[in-house]
Structure 1
Amino acid sequence: MKIETYNRPEWKLDDEGFHLFTPQRVRPWYNYLSNGEGGLKISHLGDGYSTTLKEPRIVVSNYDFWTPLKGRFVYITDGGCVWNPSYHPSGTALDTYHCIHSPWATRWISEKNGIQVEQTVFLPREGTLEVLLVTVHNRSQKNRCLYVTAVQEFLLYNSFGVDPVYYSWFTDTTWDPERTILWLKKNVGAQVVGVYHTGTAPSSWQGSLKRLIGEGTPGIPQEIQTPPLSGSMSGGDPYVGAFQWVMELVPGESKTVAVVSGLAPLTKNSMVGGSFLTEVSSLLSPDFLQKINHLGTPQGAQEELALVRSLWQRRLFRNWYGVTGSGLFSSWLKTFFGTQVYQQSTGMVRSTFRGFRDVAQDVMGLCRFEPEKARSLLVDLCSHQYLSGRCVRQWNTEGGAPDERDFRDLPFWIPVALATYERICQDPSIWEELAPYLDSPQPETLRHHAIRGITYALKYGEHGLVLMGAGDWNDALSGPGPQGGSTFLNMFAYWALSLLETSPGAQRGETELYHRYSLSLKEHKERLYEGVLRYWNGSWFDRAVVGSDSPTGAAPGTIVGTTNREGGDNRIFLLPQAWFTISGMAERNPEIARQALTSMLRELETEVGLLKCKPGYTAWDPAAGNLSSLSPGMAENFAVYNHAAAFAVYALFKAGMTDDALRIFRKILPLYKDWRKTRAEPYVLVNFYNGGYYPERAGEGGIPWLTGTVNWVALCLWDYLLPLGLSVEEG
């Protein structure tokens, strides 16, 4: 594939964000924008979609998950040439291309045949709207007459799971010439109304995607090639908002237009009654109409953009980063590190699904940025626990049955998250917050929730390990079964109990509560430690042992991840080698702790990073279960799973192995990798890098944005890198 670099570097990262100078096409590189009420996912090619963030959610604009053909596009029709500043969907070669993903906006500054177009998309500080700003500048030496068209396809259903043929039969549009608004209506179920407005009257408009495309293609619609737009209502066709302006520009002249689009908050249902246009004033609040009128003007949009930029800079540009220098790493800290924390914990990255351990770790990353939001997440987390202490694995914020699988690491995340919040925010009162249970509306303190959870999960097998239930942190390790055991669980439980011992907020009411639940921290910690030592094989810690009820039929007593044992698979897993140190067990046996970390580095470190296990599984292994079904090199099977690698970095820092910690830390960061190999965004952390079982795939990145890695990177920053004044910059 030819990459057009336009005689500039391919990309750079500075305090404004990520700058891309080539419209690479290996896959879309996304930015996430949100304001707490609405969210927008948008790529460097202009494709993406928007949604509301409060339930019930509404997907405002449509999206194509396979090709970059649906998004927020600006077309320039210049004689017989049609092009986009975002390169797609026309794919017309540009003279220059420049995309800037910032925490507050995505912007393009591109040029073709002497015409430069600056296109900016952002979300205002409040509401379920987005704003498009387009400035066209004539840099040539002659007068120019252009057609400038803004296009956005709408959906207005609560998910993408609608029938691709019939969904539009229940939709329609209404053109409001007095207000220069195209109203888009979904009339089945609860009525939803979208708005597409500009303060600069267009020369033509379109409401029907079918009419817009005509005999053209989705990339270059017919009405874009041969203006003007025909001004058709959608009338059951897929609906689109499209405005077109005729711009006549003398040399050096610029003109700017703005479009505001999104969801209109109705004060009542308009499906009953008279004409929609005659009822608009009563259907929508005067404040809303005033707001879109303001944002639909270039001046109003530019003023709001400045305020949004200032808001995000206050959130992200923290004095914590003063010791990190002025290179790539420093710019990443000021932009996409914090942005990824925010967008994953409070934005649209997680969609409507919330994993118990995921939210707990989001708290650990978010609490230094937004203590109140992190506090709210903690209360919500604990409300997804039963009186028995059992926790649900995952829930949907829009309702429905939660994932009830009984992963036994889940309860331990409550004291871990609480203690981390208390330590970072210096606020022991968090333990006194109240939360109900799934099966009881009567609230109890979060301290009660923590102790109920620990009491429930601390169940041991004859093998000396905490029973796994449905599993532990590694969801795919399904072979050991409910009666199986996990060395990681023993270590993780030991850490949770240690935090209960040392966190001031946890100690209030300790005697009465622990007596009520017959919970002796000292006795349990001793039992956990002794259980782990049974699985030290002389070189590293085994990973797990199969119980008597393996769902895959594995033989009871089979060891997962061992060596130097009869029938051992000579396989090493990262987790227990790191967690022996993180848990605090290392203080009781520093020699074994150091040897475990040394084995981890010797056996698992590659050029790409730290593998999660080695060797990878290439055939079904009933002792490992679903883990062995993953394609080797992917996710948790012989891959550099960055979440686990971040555990390792934290352990290495804690052990004083600072040089090793910094080296592995750099390998997690996308900033220092070649995007041609990773094929992934250089500005956000990814879930994993392919381990290279198939050499041609070595180092390819998988699942950007959505990863607990960012929260453990945050802990490495808060606890080691920043306090010690360390830098990961080269040189």
Structure 2
Amino acid sequence: MKFGHFDDQNKEYVITSPRTPLPWINYLGCENFFSLVSNTCGGYSFYKDAKLLRLTRYRYNNVPYDSNGHYYYIKDGDTIWNPGWMPSKTELDSYECRHGMGYSVFTGIKNGLMAQLTDFVPMGSTCEINKLTLKNTSDKKKVFSVFSYVEFCLWNAMDDMTNFQRNFSTGEVEIHAGGSQLFHKTEYRERRNHYAVYAVNASVDGFDTDRDSFLGAYGENSAPSVVVNDQSKNSVASGWAPVGSHHLKVALEPGEEKTYIFVLGYVENPVNEKWVGRAEDGIINRAPADALLARFDTTEKADAALAELKAYWDKLLGHFTIASSEEKLDRMVNVWHQYQCMVTFNMSRSASYFESGIGRGMGFRDSCQDLLGFVHLIPDRARERILDIAATQFEDGSAYHQYQPLTKKGNADIGSGFNDDPLWLIAAAAAYIKETGDYSILDESTPYDSDPSKATDFMEHLRRSFNYTINHLGPHGLPQIGRADWNDCLNLNCFSEEPGESFQTFGPSEGPNAESVFIAGMFVKYGKDYVKICRHKGLCDEADTAQKAIKQMEKTVMDAGWDGEWYLRAYDHYKHKIGSKECEDGKIFIEPQGFCVIAEIGKDEGL
């Protein structure tokens, strides 16, 4: 079954059925504010960190799929429907979703009424814009209601899902402009200087901020009580689950259309400017929110912001283009691959529909790898990212496997000991220097474990990365795998007899026997880049020493890692071969093949 097609002229993917095999999502945001949106308007928003500053809730492993999003319900007579089909799942007369560069457009038609929702995160702002256009395509006047809906997360997404004793007591809101502006200020009084605002640029006929009031007792997103009854309750959340919902009553003559601009924003105040008047009165300083909303309070302003976003992407993707006789190659290289690379730069693996954003943060290895795909697009930001990554490294050259994007500190809950991580830092640095010629990065003072008192120049970080592999060799002279290499599922060192213990944090990662042929290939490939960096720095003796270590590793791989026809996968804790034709699991694993070939190990021997 065909679910959509590419629109090359507009750089969009057009989805023509809401019933895709899984939610097909777009990643909105280029700087600090991000939203994930599916082809049925599911998703969530956050500021900088999907765990620590989550604005809205999303439910993972849910039934039905893709539960919770930024929804707009249309109550037209007895019919309730959504422009993106979910969550009411009312059959539409027409449906289309266009995922573009940093924006998505949903168009639904039902009973002579068209609703088009344009969703994007504008440049230079900490908000998401939803532009909702309603048009009467029938020959009769239409009178109907529109209800917006978001469910607020209580900021820390992990705590939000687990600490119910506290969470059901802390929800707080403020309502302003007659309900057009809904402020989520949970914990603002106690320990936060930020809040969220959800607003529409029109007078409203009602509002709700309490989830139970909106949904009704035992209610659900598909048929909220307020929508079914066509009447908001003007509820004010105090504890329990705060939400944001506006009620608009709309009348359209045949052919008439109206547009509304909804803004979901994140606002921070300096600590000494949190309040209007006395702190004990509890009135938040809304001045920065007013300024934010004023930037997008008309259709013309929202359209201008969308045009600016599109121009940004056109310029960014224009840095590198190809022209060939194969349109599919041009399409993927010129648009979609580069777009994907920028998304991974913005979020690493910290947030997706398969990663909750709660347990990961930014990957040390992941973020270094991602640089290879976008360093030519944004070299200045790539430089900054490399130094951020290096600052989480340990003094011995090893690294936290992940770090939180908000704090830029290593994530101890995930741990360390993934022994390919240090070499990825050399890969990233080499890619940056090759692209820019900027060797000054090597002189940047860079901390270890986010502790400025332990800082050295960045060159020393690379040196310790290189030497970490040399200092961690196994019985065959191959690099110790630690907890795992790139194929994290291959865990050869860390064992547990207790359910729930993670190999990422349990057991000795420094096990002396398990060895990785993949890391050996990495060491040879990126070691050659390290040698060139040393020579450019005038460190000729160090370069010669490193070159000897690389040659020795090549020989070791051929002696201990070559199986006669392919490269072994690894040696396990018991010194047994993995991925050998001599054993039952004899298979060709792509990781060691790829890197050993790229590193040209065995080339001189004709292999």
1:348 and 1:520, CA in 2 relative to 1: closer, same or farther beyond 3 A? closer
One-letter amino acid of the counterpart of residue 327, structure 1: E
Unaligned runs of 5+ in 2: 351-356, 494-510
Alignment of 1:508 onto 2:514: no
**1:489 and 2:519 correspond:** yes
Letter in 2 for 1:575: E
- Is 1:430 aligned to residue 470 of structure 2? no
Offset at residue 122 of structure 1 (A): 1.2
Decide which of 574, 580, 587 is 1:562's aligned counterpart. Answer: 580
Q: Distance in 2 between matches of 1:79 and 1:478?
A: 59
- Kept in 2, the 8 Å contact 1:394–1:402? The answer is no
Within a 5 Å distance, the mapping from 1:369-384 to structure 2 comes to 369-384=377-392
Asked whether the 8 Å contact 2:422–2:465 carries over to 1, the reply is yes
Deviation at 1:228, TM superposition (A): 2.4
Change (3 A) 1:588 1:502: farther
**Change in CA separation of 1:165 and 1:258 when aligned onto 2, cut-off 3 Å:** farther
Corresponding residue of 1:476 = 489
Q: Residues 408 and 261 (structure 1 numbering): CA distance in 2 closer, same or farther, change over 3 Å?
A: closer
Q: Does the C-alpha gap of structure 1 residues 294 and 447 become closer, same or farther in structure 2, counting only changes over 3 Å?
A: closer
SS across alignment from 1:91: coil
Segment of structure 1 superposing worse, 346-355 or 208-217:
346-355
Whether the 8 Å CA contact 2:172–2:238 is kept in 1: the answer is: yes
**Is 1:20–1:99's contact at 8 Å kept on the other side of the alignment?**
yes
Judge conservation of contact 2:13–2:98 (CA < 8 Å) in 1: yes
Q: Does 1:19 align with 2:14?
A: yes
- CA drift at 1:270: 4.3
Q: Classify 1:218/1:430 alpha carbon distance in 2 versus 1 (closer, same or farther; 3 Å).
A: same
Q: C-alpha separation between the residues in 2 aligned to 1:428 and 1:381?
A: 17
The amino acid that maps onto 1:367 is V
The C-alpha deviation readout for 1:601-654, integer Å capped at 9, x for no partner, is: xxxxxxxxxxxxxxxxxxxxxxxxxxxxxxxxxxxxxxxxxxxxxxxxxxxxxx
Say whether residues 1:227 and 2:230 are aligned partners: yes
Shift of 1:406: 2.3
1:446 aligns with 2:448: no
CA 1:477 to 1:55, structure 2 compared with 1: closer, same or farther past 3 Å? closer
1:105/1:122 contact within 8 Å kept: yes
1:444 CA drift (Å) = 2.8
Deviates more, 1:461-470 or 1:99-108: 461-470
Q: Which amino acid aligns with 1:147?
A: S
Percent identity between matched residues is 23
Deviation, 1:404, is: 4.2
The partner residue of 1:41 within 22, 36, 44 is: 36
CA distance in 2, matches of 1:156, 1:23: 30
SS at match of 2:388: helix
Instruction: Determine if contact 2:200/2:263 at 8 Å carries over to the other structure.
Output: yes
CA contact (8 A) 1:53 1:348 kept: no
Structure 1 residues 512-558: Cα deviation after superposition (integer angstroms, max 9, x where no partner): 655xxxx7133212211211112322221222223xxx2xxx3x3x1
CA distance in structure 2 between the partners assigned to 1:289 and 1:494 by the alignment: 56
The Cα of 1:349 is off from its aligned counterpart by 4.3
Equivalents in 2 of 1:499, 1:139: separation in Å?
63
Q: How is 1:136-535 mapped onto 2 (pairs within 5 angstroms)?
A: 136-162=134-160, 163-164=163-164, 167-177=167-177, 180-187=180-187, 189-191=190-192, 192-214=194-216, 217-267=220-270, 268-270=273-275, 273=279, 275-276=281-282, 279-280=283-284, 283-285=285-287, 287-318=288-319, 320-324=320-324, 327-347=327-347, 349-350=349-350, 351=357, 353-397=361-405, 398=407, 399=409, 401=412, 403-438=414-449, 441-459=453-471, 460-479=473-492, 481-503=511-533, 507-511=536-540, 513=542, 520-534=545-559, 535=561
Shift of 1:73: 0.8
For residues 230-275 of structure 1, give each alpha carbon's deviation from its aligned partner in whole angstroms, at most 9, with x where no partner exists: 2121233422211122211111111111111222323444496355
Contact kept, 8 Å, 1:32 with 1:349, in 2: the verdict is no
After superposition, the Cα gap between the structure-2 partners of 1:429 and 1:219, relative to the gap in structure 1 and judged at 3 Å, is same
Shift of 1:91: 0.5
Conserved 8 A contact 2:402-2:414? yes
Q: Residue 273 of structure 1 aligns to which amino acid in structure 2?
A: A
SS of the equivalent of 1:71 reads: coil
Shift of 1:585: 2.0
The residue identity in structure 1 corresponding to 2:67 is: L
Native 8 Å contact 2:116 2:132 kept in 1: yes
Summarize the Cα distance change of 1:461–1:210 in structure 2 as closer, same or farther, 3 Å threshold: closer
Alpha-carbon contact 1:171-1:235 (below 8 Å) kept: yes
* C-alpha distance in structure 2 between counterparts of 1:335 and 1:247, whole Å: 39
Provide the secondary structure at the position in 1 that maps to 2:153.
strand
CA apart distance, 1:326: 7.0
Q: 1:102-156 CA deviation, whole Å, 9 max, x = no partner?
A: 1221210111111111011111212321111110011111111111222111124
Secondary structure of 2:322's counterpart equals helix
Structure 1: tracts of 5 or more residues without a match: 593-731
229-238 or 69-78: bigger deviation? 229-238
- Over 3 Å counting, the alpha-carbon distance change for 1:200 and 1:379 in structure 2 is same
Q: Secondary structure at the match of 1:585?
A: coil
* Pair 1:348–1:122, CA change in 2 (3 A): farther
Q: 1:496 to 1:128 in 2, by over 3 A?
A: same
Q: Is the 8 A contact 1:395 1:402 kept in 2?
A: no
2:129 is aligned with what amino acid?
V
The one-letter amino acid of 1:433's match is E
Question: How much has 1:166 moved relative to structure 2?
Answer: 5.0
Q: Match of 1:576?
A: 592
How far 1:186 sits from its partner (Å)? 0.5
Contact 1:212 1:222 in 2 (8 A): yes
**Change in CA separation of 1:322 and 1:170 when aligned onto 2, cut-off 3 Å:** same
Separation of aligned partners in 1, 2:237 and 2:478: 63
Alignment partner, residue 563 of structure 2? 537
Q: Contact 1:102–1:335 (CA<8 Å) still a contact in 2?
A: no
Q: Which moved more, 1:135-144 or 1:455-464?
A: 455-464
For 1:7-41, what per-residue CA distance to the aligned partner results, in whole angstroms no more than 9, with x for missing partners? xx633343432110000153222111123221111
Residues of 1 paired with 2:558 and 2:322: CA distance?
Answer: 43
In 1, distance between residues paired with 2:75 and 2:415?
Answer: 55
- The Cα offsets for residues 565-618 of structure 1, whole Å up to 9 and x where unpaired, read as 4x56432222222222201224322x31xxxxxxxxxxxxxxxxxxxxxxxxxx
Please tell me whether residue 72 in structure 1 is matched to residue 101 in structure 2.
Answer: no
Q: Output the CA distance in 2 between the equivalents of 1:408 and 1:217.
A: 47
Q: Give the RMSD, CA atoms, in angstroms.
A: 2.7
| Cα deviation, residue 502, structure 1 | 3.5
Q: 1:429 to 1:226 in 2, by over 3 A?
A: same
TM-score for the superposition, normalised by structure 2: 0.86
In the alignment, the residues of structure 2 paired with residue 348 and residue 179 of structure 1 have an alpha-carbon distance, to the nearest angstrom, of 37
Specify whether residues 63 and 575 from structure 1 end up closer, same or farther in structure 2 by C-alpha distance, changes over 3 A only: closer
The alpha carbon displacement at 1:431 in A equals 2.9
Give the Cα separation in 2 of the matches to 1:55 and 1:75: 26
Q: 1:112 to 1:160 in 2, by over 3 A?
A: farther
Assess, with a 3 A threshold, how the Cα gap between structure 1 residues 328 and 189 changes in structure 2: closer, same or farther. farther
Shift in Å at residue 189 of structure 1?
A: 4.0
Q: How much has 1:373 moved relative to structure 2? A: 1.0
Q: Which amino acid aligns with 1:252?
A: G
Q: Which letter does structure 1 place at the counterpart of 2:486?
A: W
Aligned-partner SS, 2:243 = strand
